[in-house]
Amino acid sequence: MNAYLDIVPIESPIPADRQGSKRHYGVHPYFTRRPYNVVRQYILHYSRAGDRVLDPFGGSGVTAIEACLENRVGIQNDINPLANFIAQGIADLRLGNLSDYKEALSFLKDSCENQLGQLHSLDEAGLENLLGTLRLPANVSLPRNADVERYYDLFSPRQLAALSILKEAIARISAPPAGKGMLLAWSATLAKLNKTFLSAEGRAESRGGSSIFSIYRYKVAKEPIELPPWQTFHERALNVIAAKKEIDRAIELQRQTQGWRGEFQTCANDVEELSAEWNEQMDYIFTDPPYGGHISYLDLSILWNVWLNQLPEVKVRERELIVGGEMKLSEEQYIKRLGSSVRACIKMLKKGRWLSLVFQHWNVGYFDAILSTAAESGASLSAAVSQIGDPIWSMHKKKSRQSVLAGEMILTFCKTGAPRQVGKNEEFDVSDSIGRILSSTTADKIYGEYLFNKIVIEAWNRCAIGSLNISKNEFMDLIRQHGWCYDEEQHLWIKDKPTGAPLFNGLIPVGTNSEESASEPSQDSKIIAP
Ligand SMILES: C[S@@+](CC[C@H](N)C(=O)[O-])C[C@H]1O[C@@H](n2cnc3c(N)ncnc32)[C@H](O)[C@@H]1O
């Protein structure tokens, strides 16, 4: 009897807690980070202690780190060296003593604080002389859509010098885990000490972020802000130390209750290549593949990968699962490879185990690739849950709310091992379906993405996903025809006239969590255009 098959799938959305954990929030920015509490609940629900839990598109490592802290073997995989650097860096905070980290920080203070403080009194010639004595990264060219041409154009001479001085001092730290922790803090500092840093309107100068994480390109600030290097690093190092304390506490709690046996591993493969190595080895997979265009992870990570000396080769960049970017990867190829990636995930799962995949897009073809390949690879769709409050809106979304989806769907599959061909071309009256869902709801407000998710899954269940050939605009017209109107401010549909502030009572979920201001870029949002 396979006890995993008795698991009742999670059918309800889990409210996202984005800032509740120091290990994921504030240590290092990354793109589209998943809310750790949601990931954690899925891991606890679909796997057992000692199990292997994989995230093949692991990003900053939320899945594998949470799995490790829950006594599983967390396996992080990503094609982007920066992603693995962050994930491994956070996971390694479980190693070494807290006192080593504190000592490492005070060693850095003694070695660098004064020197960094004096940089502002150096004139141009003095800075140039100093730069000549420092170890600097290669001055590579940047993607075509960057505001500037070359790597060094992203920095003022002072910023280049400060980053180099700090990095060299970190290399001299004798306790390896503490040294790695400080390098993680240095890498987070790099996100702030460059000209893509945009300060947040109406807040302290330092409360902003890089355009890399908000508009997904190297936009250089009109009036770049030079944050004080030592203080900026010091804050990041304290965040790392706070994350270490939190991880130590979580492990101690495990020790005192069920014993501690969590493990963490990193792989750096394309998902399809990974499956050759891990055939039928995984107990649970939770993952969040790229949603097509907009975020070219490898292009945008050049800022870090150059300085960390880990720039991927062209053949790796060609394997990135995105549309566009510097490699001009095609949408046709993306759809094909999205399907192959799902096949690879199912291949890696043991029979009777579960795969949860987070996805959202207005393009039904992308969902078709996921759902059809899963069925053909011997996995059946068990739950499709539209999440709440996830992700945070980005600046792009604020400018063009109708063209973006704010919510994501977690699709959970069980590997039955019995491949199935599912019909796709049955008739499907989308207007009728929208009308039925709208008239059966007791809520007077509804998010478009919730409705869209429901329609996609209904079409799939009725073997009609191939007939659901609808653009975003047509979809929106149909909602209007059913007597609902779009409220631009709240990014949702309202039964009659728009009224008042957003209500969560009686609101069909898949929400937004609009905490950031237009000038405070989010590191957590995805932009999805039709
Ligand atoms: C949506 S992000 C994952 C974010 C992650 N869930 C987190 O919480 O940080 C998708 C990731 O897929 C990675 N990726 C893109 N193409 C890939 C491929 N062919 N194989 C493995 N990883 C890939 C990107 O580098 C990116 O980190």
Q: pTM higher than 0.85 for the full model?
A: yes
Average pLDDT of every residue of the chain: 89
- Residue 2: CB atoms within 10 A of its CB come to 10
Give CA–CA dist 211/200, Å, rounded. Answer: 11
Mutate to test the pocket of ligand 1, among 55, 78, 336 (most ligand atoms within 8 A of CB): 78
pLDDT band at 199 (very low <50, low <70, confident <90, very high): confident
CA 277 – ligand 1 centroid, Å: 19
Mutate to test the pocket of ligand 1, among 28, 57, 334, 337 (most ligand atoms within 8 A of CB): 57
CA 337 – ligand 1 centroid, Å: 13
CA 78 – ligand 1 centroid, Å: 6
Tally of CA atoms within 13 A in the half-sphere of 299 that contains its CB: 23
pLDDT digits (tens, 9 = 90+) for 381-425: 999 998 865 444 444 444 444 444 456 899 999 999 999 999 999
% of the chain surpassing 70 pLDDT: 90
Ligand 1 atom with least separation from CA of 33 = 8
60 lines ligand 1 (CB under 6 A): yes
What pLDDT does 279 receive?
96
What pLDDT does 68 receive?
98
Phi–psi pair at 387, nearest 5 degrees: -80, 160
pLDDT band at 201 (very low <50, low <70, confident <90, very high): confident
87 lines ligand 1 (CB under 6 A): no
32 lines ligand 1 (CB under 6 A): yes
pLDDT band at 10 (very low <50, low <70, confident <90, very high): very high
347 lines ligand 1 (CB under 6 A): no
Evaluate whether 308 touches 83 at the Cβ level (below 8 Å).
no
Evaluate whether 163 touches 197 at the Cβ level (below 8 Å).
no
- Residue 16: CB atoms within 10 A of its CB come to 23
Mutate to test the pocket of ligand 1, among 79, 269, 366, 408 (most ligand atoms within 8 A of CB): 79
Atom 8 of ligand 1, nearest CA residue? 33
Give the lowest-confidence range in 92-96, 100-104, 228-232, 441-445. 441-445
30 lines ligand 1 (CB under 6 A): yes
Say yes or no to pLDDT of 527 above 50.
no
pLDDT digits (tens, 9 = 90+) for 302-325: 999 999 999 999 999 999 999 999
What pLDDT does 285 receive?
98
213 lines ligand 1 (CB under 6 A): no
79 lines ligand 1 (CB under 6 A): yes
